[in-house]
Amino acid sequence: MRLSAGFDLLPAILRHLDFLFEERPLLPNEDAGQYDTLLRTIIAQVKPADVIEAIWVKDIVDLIWEAKRFRRWRGQILTQTRLQAVTSLILPVLEAQNHSPFEPEAERRREAETLAMGWLNGSADETSATEKLLRTRGLTPMDVTAHTFQLKLPDIERIERMITAADQRRDTLLREIERKRMSLSQQLRAASAEVIDVEPTVQERRMATPPRD
């Protein structure tokens, strides 16, 4: 299937290069429509003038999409870890309240996970019970968020580095386009100045001099 997302926005001289924009770097369940919208927007703003700029623009779009994916993963990782975080915070209270040697430890953990899941889902009873257990330790829901971040700090730091790397590569390509266009503009100005300022040759002066009667 040919991708026409950027084809209609390319200058006529570049329309034979539309194949450069066909491949979408999408993972399962990612929105192809969002990617195409991003591609159209960047092409319209940058207006690639040749094959080099077209390749750079495609790379820029893919890097923006990659950074967007990493940011989404960062949020999803933190959301998924909240269950682990709140469970680990209320479990010691449940263990302290139930000293029965006949109750397996696994049973108390299941109770903590059940309460934590209800708290995450907004169930009134589980929310009340969970926040009461948190208050027993002098904690609030904000402490759950902090503990969530603490549990996944190495993963978050790694994702942050990946986001930074993608953003830096994107900015480098944008600077390359700007530098290339500035260089071309300077070359055109220099060539124009040479044409304007060139001195006529002796032959040209003779040809320009009208004949005497």
Give the mean model confidence (pLDDT) for residues 91-110. Answer: 82
With a cut of 70, say whether residue 95 has pLDDT above it: yes
Instruction: Look at residue 107 and tell me if it is in a domain.
Output: yes
Instruction: Look at residue 205 and tell me if it is in a domain.
Output: no
Chain segment 13-47, per-residue pLDDT in tens: 567 777 888 899 999 999 999 999 999 999 888 88
Instruction: Look at residue 212 and tell me if it is in a domain.
Output: no
Instruction: Look at residue 213 and tell me if it is in a domain.
Output: no
Instruction: Look at residue 200 and tell me if it is in a domain.
Output: no
Instruction: Look at residue 187 and tell me if it is in a domain.
Output: no
What is the DSSP code (8-state) at residue 28?
T
What is the DSSP code (8-state) at residue 29?
T
Q: Alpha helix (H) ranges present in the chain?
A: 32-46, 51-97, 105-121, 124-136, 141-151, 153-197, 202-208
pTM summary value? 0.76
Q: How many domains does the chain have?
A: 1
Range of the domain at 34: 7-181
Chain segment 159-186, per-residue pLDDT in tens: 999 999 999 999 999 999 999 988 877 7
Q: Alpha helix (H) ranges present in 21-50?
A: 32-46
Cα separation, 178 vs 42, in Å, equals 14
Instruction: Look at residue 189 and tell me if it is in a domain.
Output: no
Instruction: Look at residue 2 and tell me if it is in a domain.
Output: no
